């Protein structure tokens, strides 16, 4: 089972960062289509090449670089004619022209998935998985993207999009953690062929897998769950987003009395500052070469907890300016208090 807990919610009221999906003119002249003829009587434009299947011009076109007919026009019909294509327009053309100008078109500009949201809004903070709800779009009812281990975007969740729910968020979190869509199975315990589309789960061709496109996403396979655990264990970037991991900083300083009452994964050196006490009530897992440094008059209490390193290769608990004495090996543990079966394994 995989469970995520929301740690912090921050609102960014910013129309620039909110929903940046729109139609823009294709400005790359190499993609424009050469006009061979404009016929005002038939309301047609002949362009070079076979473009009758080109989706970008099936709704509208932009005529440019002509003498009389520059503008935006709606398309009624597209037909192939020999090696060229004839566009029949819904709008009137005033004057016929020959071999002058080009046809451009509108294309979708989608910056909702751009990493600049992560840069601008979080300052590239890597302690969390950042979820951006980027608002709705007229042309796309819902969408999501997980472009990095640290953030994802989900569209229309705030305006009750049909698929913008917990299942969509779970789907995108799956991408952030390395899971792929199920139409091309990533693991052997997934269906060989999972139909894609916003489909009801009413036949054996559509799975209920969270990484599919279906209306009942509520399941991850054992191999998918195992892979998420594997990624957390082997990918430093993802591992450091764990709530029970200390900060990504290599040194953690205890500047006030603290009680750690949950399992903690340390990331480097822990320094208990002068006159402060750190109490461990669960497990404190130390990395290889990790160390706990105790300053003057500091205390370390292990109350029914355990301090250890899985690799058994940590550097121990030392007292500052003591010549790196392993305190817990000394007979008198005045700086370290073990209570209720608390243990330290070196």
Rounded to an integer, what is the distance from CA 215 to the centroid of its chain? 21
Q: Positive or negative CA dihedral for 207, 209, 214, 218?
A: positive
Same domain, yes or no: 281 and 220: no
List Cα–Cα distances, 327 to 291, 320, 336, 337, in angstroms: 12, 11, 8, 11
Q: For position 82, which CATH number holds?
A: 2.40.30.60
Winning range, highest mean pLDDT, from 144-148, 192-196, 288-292: 288-292
Report if residue 166 sits inside a domain.
Answer: yes
Using the 3D structure, point to which of 109, 131, 156 is the last residue of a domain. Answer: 109
| Alpha carbon distance 170, 214 (integer Å) | 13
pLDDT, greater one: 3 or 275: 275
Winning range, highest mean pLDDT, from 41-55, 110-124, 254-268: 41-55
Residue 313: how many other CB atoms lie within 10 Å: 11
Residue 337 has pLDDT above 60, yes or no: yes
Same domain, yes or no: 105 and 117: no
Same domain, yes or no: 119 and 203: yes
Report if residue 7 sits inside a domain.
Answer: no
Q: How many domains does the chain have?
A: 3
Residue 292 has pLDDT above 90, yes or no: yes
pLDDT, greater one: 156 or 193: 193
What local confidence, expressed as pLDDT, does residue 143 receive? Answer: 58
Report if residue 237 sits inside a domain.
Answer: no
Among 212-221, 226-235, 240-249, 291-300, the least confident range: 240-249
Same domain, yes or no: 207 and 182: yes
Q: What share of the chain is helix, strand, coil (3-state, %, to 5)?
A: 15, 30, 55
The pTM assigned to this predicted structure is 0.55
Nearest alpha-carbon partner for 168 in 214, 202, 124, 134: 214
Same domain, yes or no: 124 and 219: yes
Residue corresponding to tokens 């046809």: 103
Report if residue 262 sits inside a domain.
Answer: yes
| Alpha carbon distance 73, 92 (integer Å) | 9
Using the 3D structure, point to which of 82, 109, 136 is the last residue of a domain. Answer: 109
pLDDT, greater one: 132 or 119: 119
| Domain containing residue 104 | 22-109
Report if residue 10 sits inside a domain.
Answer: no
Same domain, yes or no: 63 and 163: no
Greatest CA separation found in the chain?
104
Same domain, yes or no: 190 and 146: yes
What local confidence, expressed as pLDDT, does residue 104 receive? Answer: 97
Residue 212: how many other CB atoms lie within 10 Å: 24
Same domain, yes or no: 311 and 211: no
Residue 113 has pLDDT above 80, yes or no: no
Report if residue 1 sits inside a domain.
Answer: no
Same domain, yes or no: 266 and 328: yes
Taking a C-beta distance cutoff of 8 angstroms, is the pair 253, 266 a contact? Answer: no
Same domain, yes or no: 201 and 142: yes
Using the 3D structure, point to which of 109, 129, 161 is the last residue of a domain. Answer: 109
pLDDT, greater one: 342 or 145: 342
Report if residue 240 sits inside a domain.
Answer: no
Q: Positive or negative CA dihedral for 221, 148, 217, 233?
A: positive
Same domain, yes or no: 101 and 147: no
pLDDT band at 163 (very low <50, low <70, confident <90, very high): very low
| Alpha carbon distance 102, 61 (integer Å) | 10
pLDDT band at 248 (very low <50, low <70, confident <90, very high): low
Same domain, yes or no: 50 and 145: no
List Cα–Cα distances, 69 to 27, 33, 43, 62, 79, in angstroms: 18, 15, 12, 10, 21
pLDDT band at 246 (very low <50, low <70, confident <90, very high): low
Report if residue 234 sits inside a domain.
Answer: no
């Amino acid at each position: 089972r995989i469970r995520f807990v929301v740690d912090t919610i921050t609102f960014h009221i910013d129309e620039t960062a909110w929903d940046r999906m729109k139609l823009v003119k294709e400005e790359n002249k190499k993609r424009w289509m050469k006009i061979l003829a404009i016929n005002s009587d038939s309301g047609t434009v002949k362009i070079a090449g076979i473009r009758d299947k080109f989706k970008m011009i099936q709704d509208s076109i932009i005529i440019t670089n002509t003498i009389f007919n520059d503008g935006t026009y709606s398309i009624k019909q597209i037909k192939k004619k020999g090696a060229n294509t004839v566009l029949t327009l819904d709008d009137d053309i005033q004057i016929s022209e020959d071999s002058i100008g080009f046809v451009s078109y509108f294309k979708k500009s989608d910056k909702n998935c751009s990493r600049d949201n992560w840069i601008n809004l979080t300052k590239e903070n890597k302690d969390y998985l950042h979820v951006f709800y980027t608002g709705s779009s007229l042309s796309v009812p819902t969408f999501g993207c997980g472009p990095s281990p640290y953030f994802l975007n989900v569209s229309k969740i705030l305006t009750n999009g049909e698929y913008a729910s917990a299942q969509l968020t779970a789907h995108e979190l799956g991408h952030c953690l390395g899971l792929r869509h199920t139409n091309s199975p990533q693991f052997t315990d997934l269906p060989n062929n999972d139909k894609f589309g916003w489909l009801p789960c009413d036949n054996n061709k559509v799975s209920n897998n969270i990484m599919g496109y279906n209306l009942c996403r509520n399941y991850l396979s054992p191999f998918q769950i195992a892979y998420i655990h594997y990624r957390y264990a082997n990918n430093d970037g993802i591992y450091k987003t764990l709530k029970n991991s200390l900060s990504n900083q290599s040194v953690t300083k205890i500047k006030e009395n603290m009680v750690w009452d949950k399992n903690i994964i340390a990331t480097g050196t822990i320094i208990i500052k002068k006159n402060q006490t750190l109490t461990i009530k669960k497990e404190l897992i130390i990395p290889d070469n990790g160390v706990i440094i105790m300053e003057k008059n500091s205390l370390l209490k292990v109350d029914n907890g355990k301090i250890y390193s899985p690799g058994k290769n940590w550097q121990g608990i030392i007292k500052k300016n003591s010549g790196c004495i392993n305190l817990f090996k000394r007979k008198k543990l005045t700086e370290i208090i073990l209570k209720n079966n608390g243990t330290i394994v070196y």
